[in-house]
Amino acid sequence: TLLGGSYRDRIKMYCSIGGGAPMTPDEMVSKVDDALNAGFRAIKIRMDWGPHRRDSDPAKDVAMFTAVRKFVGDDIPLSFDANNGYSVSTAIRQGCQFEAMNIYHFEEPVAQYDYTGVKQVADALDVPVSAGEHEYTRWQSRDLIAQANPDILQPDVVKCGGITEMRKIAVLSDTFPKDFVPHQTLPTIGTAASLHVVASIQTAN
């Protein structure tokens, strides 16, 4: 890797499928099928309600997740990105339902800077809760860990300033410890940069 010796030579990548809010469950399943046919063996679905439409349609979210889980079976890791879309109480109720369907991780269940809310959700659920794409420095990531205590750190290599800063954030995931699952907003170059970091650290999952 660009960072010296590698910790691993294989990395499982998940396909993130967004824009779920206007879709039907069947339409989401069709997109998941395309991802599986492209070779992905892990999936994340995202509804894109956003914090300005908090708790818009929790029942639809569960129906969407249920349809995808039924389609892919139990062996495919399946995650859900709430995109900051729930209140704390709704996030906990949703998380309990997702847990029953073997969710892999629950991303940004509440507003991104509501660290108290993130902690409440993470403490209430067994499912791993992830956060960190909106923390642009190691100090912000430190505060996220100290105040919100998510199970998974998700820095974005483009947002946080590149490989060097992401590598420093990765050290925090080893120190505390947390699983390290990078967020990605820029395919191609961003993906390549993330791969170099992930290949070089122990906590990447």
Domain co-membership, 149 together with 171? yes
Cis, bond preceding 177 (omega within 30 deg of 0): yes
Question: Is the entire prediction scored with pTM above 0.85?
Answer: yes
Residues 126 and 138 in one domain: no
Same-domain pairing of 53 and 93: yes
Domain boundary among 95, 111, 131: 131
Would residue 183 show up in a list of annotated catalytic residues for this protein? Answer: yes
Instruction: Give the Cβ contact number of residue 39 at 10 Å.
Output: 8
Q: What is the mean pLDDT of residues 165-182?
A: 93
**What is the per-residue pLDDT for 51?**
59
Q: Do 19 and 80 have their domain in common?
A: yes
| Annotated catalytic residue, options 105, 134, 183, 196 | 183
Question: Has residue 4 been placed in a domain?
Answer: no
Supply the pLDDT for residue 179: 93
Q: Is residue 2 part of a domain?
A: no
pLDDT attached to residue 109: 96
Residues 42 and 65 in one domain: yes
CB crowding 149-179: b at 16 or more within 10 Å, else e: bbbbbbbbbbbbbebebbbbbbebbeeeebb
- What is the per-residue pLDDT for 50? 60
**What average pLDDT does the segment 131-141 reach?**
95
Q: Which of 5-19, 60-74, 77-91 has the lowest average pLDDT?
A: 5-19
Q: 50 - beta bridge partners?
A: none
Q: Which of 96, 15, 34 is nearest to 61 (CA)?
A: 96
